[in-house]
Amino acid sequence: MTNDPVDQNVSEPAAPDPAVMDRIVNLCKRRGIIFPSAEIYGGFRSTYDYGPIGVLMLRNVKDAWWRTMVQLRTDVLGLDASILSPPAVWEASGHLANFSDPLVDCTACKQRFRQDHLDDLSRCPGCGARDSFTEARQFNLMFKTHAGPVEESAAVAYLRPETAQGMFINFANVLNTSRKKPPFGIAQVGKSFRNEITPGNFVFRTREFEQMELEFFVPPDEAGQWYEYWCRERFDWYVRHGIAPAKLRLRAHDADELSHYSSGTSDVEFLFPWGWGELEGIANRGNYDLTQHATHSGADLSYFDQESKTRYVPHVIEPAAGATRSMMAFLIAAYDEEEVNGETRTVLRLHHRIAPFKVAVLPLSKKAPLVELSRQVLADIQPRWMADYDETQAIGRRYRRQDEIGTPYCVTVDFDSLEDRAVTVRERDSMAQERVPIDRLVAYLGERLI
Ligand code: GAP
C-alpha cells in the first residue's frame, strides 16, 4: 500500500445479503427511525420523514461531522446559506446548462428511463420491447419555483441542488470578516433538492436530502497535497465512527468520469446490501468555481498574499458527503442479529456518538419509590446526554427495545437501589452488567461515552 489515497482499497468482503435491507427498513418503521412521507395519503414518491429516534440519529451524524470538520479545527469556519437562490448563481456554477440526466421513453410501455442506467439500449427493461426508445432528452434536475406572488420569469428561483455554491458566493464575505487566509475552509450542513429521475434504495437516493460539504480554499501549488489529505481524512472519519474498513473503499474516478475542471475526484464508497455505493466525493476542483462566480458577478474573488506579494484565485478541495445517505450506511453497518438464550437479539452496534440515546433509565417496577428515584437518576443524566425513560413491560423486553435502537447503556433502578443507592448498568454489545453507586453514575458514564 502506498500513500496514494486511491490505493486504500481493501480486499472484497463477503457478498452482502439483500434481505437484510428489508429487515432494516422494517426496523426503521417499527421503531420510529424513518417513516415513508405522507403515508396516510398513500405516500409521496421517495420522500421520507425522520421519526423521534431517526431525528436524533440524523442530528448525531451531522453533529459528528461538524465536530470533526469545524469544532476540532482552527482552519474551517461554518456557514448556513439560503436554500433559495436566483438563476444567476446556477448559470455561473454551470448547473443550468449541465446538471441534467439523459432521459428516454419507451414508446411501447410509456415508461421513462435514464439512458445512462440502461444496460441494453435496444431493449426496454420494463416491457422487453425492441428498439422502442425515443431520442434522449436532457432533463435538468433542479427544482424550479417562483419567489413572490407572480409566476413570471423575473421571479424564477431554484432550490439548491447542493450546498456548495453557498460557500463559493460567500467566499469574499467570509474572508473579509475572519482572520483566515488560504489554506482555510467553509463548511455547511443542510438540505439539498434534486428532481432525481430514479430515486430509490430507501433513503440512498431521494429528491430531498441533507448534505455535509466542505469547500477548502488553498494556494494553487498546495492543491495536490490537500486533495490527498482530505481523501485520507474523510475515509478515516467513517472508520472512526464505527464502519469497518472492509465495508469501505476509496475509489478514484476514471478520466472519463471527471468534470472538465476537476484534476482528481475520489469517492468514499460503502458496501450497501446491493453493492458498492457512494457516500462522499472528494474533488480537486481547481479555481473553476471562484473564477466562474467572479466572471459572472464581477466581484473580485482572488486573494492577495501579503507575504509573497502575489495575487491568486484559490483552488478548491471539496469533500462533499450526504448526511441522510451516511446515516443509512451507519444503520446498515451497525445492524446485527445474534442468538441469545434461544432467541434472536437485534442490536444496532452504533458508535456512541451516532446512537440516538446514550442511556436509558429503566425502573424495575412502576411502584412510586422506584419511579421517584429513577426520575432523580434521569435528572442527573439528561443535562449531559440524550436519555430515554421507559417503565413499561418486563425488563428483558425493555433491554431488547433499547438494543434495537442502539442505546449503549441501560441503567436499571431496582428495589435494592432504595437501600444501597446503586443501580445496575448494562452495556449494549457485551450485555455485561455492573453495579454502580448513583453518585458515581455520571462520572462512570462520562468515562465510557467519549
Ligand atoms: N458539491 C458536490 C456535490 O454535491 P455530489 O456527489 O453530487 O457532489 C455529494 O453529492 C453527496 O451528497 C453524495 O456523495 C451523496 O452522499 C449525497 N447525495 C447526492 N445526491 C443525493 C440524493 N439524491 N439523495 C441522497 N443523497 C444524495
Please give the distance, rounded to the nearest whole angstrom, from the Cα atom of residue 141 to the centre of ligand 1.
12
Q: Note the pLDDT of residue 17.
A: 76
Mean pLDDT value across residues 419-446:
98
CA distance 284 to 288: 10
CA-closest residue to ligand 1 atom 2:
320
Mean pLDDT value across residues 376-402:
97
Q: Note the pLDDT of residue 450.
A: 82
Which residue carries 495536490 as its cell? 224
Q: Note the pLDDT of residue 15.
A: 59
**pLDDT grade, residue 447 (50/70/90)?**
very high
Please give the distance, rounded to the nearest whole angstrom, from the Cα atom of residue 296 to the centre of ligand 1.
25
Mean pLDDT value across residues 162-188:
97
pLDDT digits (tens, 9 = 90+) for 220-258: 999 999 999 999 999 999 999 999 999 999 999 999 889
* Ligand 1: nearest atom to the Cα of 321: 11
CA distance 109 to 107: 6
Per the omega criterion (within 30 degrees of 0), is the bond before 183 cis? Answer: yes
Q: What are the b/e assignments for 340-370, b being 16+ CB within 10 Å?
A: eeeeeebbbebbbbbbbbbbbbbbbeeeeeb
Mean pLDDT value across residues 6-33:
75
Q: Is the CB of 324 under 6 A from ligand 1?
A: yes
Higher pLDDT: 185 or 16? It is 185
Higher pLDDT: 110 or 322? It is 322
pLDDT digits (tens, 9 = 90+) for 279-326: 999 999 999 999 999 999 999 999 999 999 999 999 999 999 999 999
Q: What is the DSSP letter of 204?
A: T
CA-closest residue to ligand 1 atom 1:
164
* Ligand 1: nearest atom to the Cα of 194: 23
Mutation choice for ligand 1 from 250, 325, 332, CB with most ligand atoms inside 8 A: 325
Mean pLDDT value across residues 212-220:
98
Instruction: State yes or no: pLDDT of 217 exceeds 50.
Output: yes
**pLDDT grade, residue 8 (50/70/90)?**
very low
Strands, sheet with 422-427, edge to edge from the N-terminal-most edge strand: 387-389, 359-363, 409-413, 422-427, 433-437
CA-closest residue to ligand 1 atom 24:
205
Q: Is the CB of 205 under 6 A from ligand 1?
A: yes
Report the share of the chain in percent with pLDDT over 90: 89
CA distance 214 to 73: 13
**pLDDT grade, residue 152 (50/70/90)?**
confident
Say how many Å lie between the first and final Cα of the chain, rounded.
31
* Burial (CB count <10 Å: 0-12, 13-18, 19+), residue 241: buried
Which has the minimum average pLDDT: 25-29, 112-116, 165-169, 429-433?
Answer: 112-116
Please give the distance, rounded to the nearest whole angstrom, from the Cα atom of residue 427 to the centre of ligand 1.
35
**Grid coordinates representing 243?**
464502519
CA distance 37 to 293: 37
* Ligand 1: nearest atom to the Cα of 207: 23
Which H or E run includes 425? strand 422-427
Q: Note the pLDDT of residue 2.
A: 31
CA-closest residue to ligand 1 atom 17:
322
Please give the distance, rounded to the nearest whole angstrom, from the Cα atom of residue 194 to the centre of ligand 1.
9
Q: What is the mean pLDDT of the chain?
A: 94
CA distance 187 to 307: 26
Higher pLDDT: 5 or 392? It is 392
Please give the distance, rounded to the nearest whole angstrom, from the Cα atom of residue 192 to the centre of ligand 1.
9
Mutation choice for ligand 1 from 117, 211, 262, CB with most ligand atoms inside 8 A: 211
Q: Note the pLDDT of residue 261.
A: 84
Q: Note the pLDDT of residue 5.
A: 37
Mutation choice for ligand 1 from 90, 278, 317, CB with most ligand atoms inside 8 A: 278
Identify the CA nearest to 162 among candidates 213, 206, 203: 213
Which residue carries 474516478 as its cell? 253
Q: Is the CB of 215 under 6 A from ligand 1?
A: no
Residue 412's Cα: distance from chain center in Å?
A: 33
Q: Is the CB of 209 under 6 A from ligand 1?
A: yes
pLDDT digits (tens, 9 = 90+) for 25-72: 999 999 999 999 999 999 998 899 999 999 999 999 999 999 999 999
pLDDT digits (tens, 9 = 90+) for 199-214: 999 999 999 999 999 9
Yes or no: say if 318 and 216 are a contact pair by the CB < 8 Å rule.
yes
Report the share of the chain in percent with pLDDT over 70: 96
* Ligand 1: nearest atom to the Cα of 211: 12
Instruction: State yes or no: pLDDT of 1 exceeds 50.
Output: no
3-state secondary structure of 196: coil
**Grid coordinates representing 370?**
422506584
